[in-house]
Amino acid sequence: MLPIDAAAHSSRWRRRHPVDKAVLGLGLTLLAISLPPWPGAALVLLTALVVLLGPAGVPWRRLWRAYRVPLGFCVTGALTLLVQVGGPGGFVSLAGDGPVRAGELLLRTSAASLGVLLFAFTTPMSDLLPRLVRAGVPAPVVDVALVTYRMSFLLLDSVRRVRDAQAARLGHTTRAAAWRSLGGLGATAFVRAFDRAVRLQAGLAGRGYDGTLRVLVPEARVSVRFTTASCVLLAALAVLTFVLERPLT
């Protein structure tokens, strides 16, 4: 299992309905991209961090491991805003408002990423996917997504084992051997995926498969109290941003 999904399965908010967590987590993300970066995104970032490490109980080490991935892209992308091409300063020169724009972009992306991470770290995919049918996603698409999700872990595990076996047979010692091993790994993943699908199909056919995958979804109700509190928090953040914007700018 992947670290974020494993954390979601053991999360304190595991039993909460995905809608509760979507209102809070994705609401914070929407606020982060729609409010002025200073002080709006900074407030959202702070709030998301407090909720993640506090009530949601996400271990900071796991959070950092997941958070540094989008941070890498943000920093690389923000660096380009520091320079400008053309103009009176020469072909390439430092942009006058570059640091401010880069800082604002970093704030916005960091805050938005934490909002999505709040949702991802508390909501397992197995709770979310079956409920997408009620949200209007066609059932066949949800079924394909469910099979993809469940098969991905098995396939990742197979790939890991094949890679270990290749390494044990000196398959990574030279550049040519590494390429051959990698090609073999990709082809093996394809063969195993299709072999597993065919065997799964045979098993399901023996159990009266009619084209619908029925899975048990843990019972959960949308908490009016939780969603109301989330909406109040989001509204308070928006109001606070507009109140503080002028004095802090």
Partner 1 sequence: MHIAEGFLPPAHAVAWGVASAPFVLHGVRSLTREVREHPESTLLLGASGAFTFVLSALKLPSVTGSCSHPTGTGLGAILFRPPVMAVLGTITLLFQALLLAHGGLTTLGANIFSMAIVGPWAGYAVYRLLRRYGVPLMVAVFCAAFVADLSTYCVTSVQLALAFPDPGSGFLGALGKFGSIFAVTQIPLAVSEGLLTVLVMRLLVQSSKGELTRLGVFLAEKESRSETEAVAR
- Counting Cα atoms < 13 Å in the Cβ hemisphere of 181 gives 20
Q: Give the number of other CB atoms < 10 A from CB of residue 89.
A: 13
Position 181: which residue type?
S
Contact status: 99 vs partner 1 (CB under 8 A) = no
- Rank residues 201 and 228 by Cβ distance to partner 1 and give the closer one: 201
Rounded to a whole number of angstroms, the minimum distance from the CB of residue 37 to partner 1 is 10
Q: In angstroms, what is the C-alpha Rg of the chain?
A: 23
Q: What angle do CA 51, 56, 57 make, to 5 degrees?
A: 110
Q: How far is the CB of 228 from partner 1 (least distance, A)?
A: 23
- Two structure tokens written together for 78: 């923000």
Q: Pick from 42, 49, 51, 111 the residue near partner 1 by CB under 8 A.
A: 111
Task: Pick from 46, 177, 213, 233 the residue near partner 1 by CB under 8 A.
Answer: 213
Stretches 9-17, 52-60, 76-84, 239-247: which one binds partner 1 (CB under 8 A)? 76-84
Number of residues counted as binding partner 1 (CB under 8 A): 88
**Piece of 51-59, 91-99, 217-225, 237-245 that binds partner 1 (CB under 8 A):** 91-99
- Tokens 């809608």 sit on residue: 19
**Residue of the chain from 24, 43, 56, 112 that contacts partner 1 (CB under 8 A):** 112
Amino acid in position 136: G
Which residues 158-177 are close enough to bind partner 1 by CB under 8 A?
159, 175
Please state the closest distance from residue 46 (CB atom) to partner 1, in A.
15
Helix (H) or strand (E) holding 189: helix 175-205
The dihedral built from the CA positions of residue 223, 224, 225 and 231, taken in this order, carries a sign that is positive
Residue type, 192: R
User: Interface with partner 1 includes 118 (CB under 8 A)?
Assistant: no
DSSP letter at 40? I
Residues 3-62 close enough to bind partner 1 by CB under 8 A: 4-5, 26, 29-30, 32-34
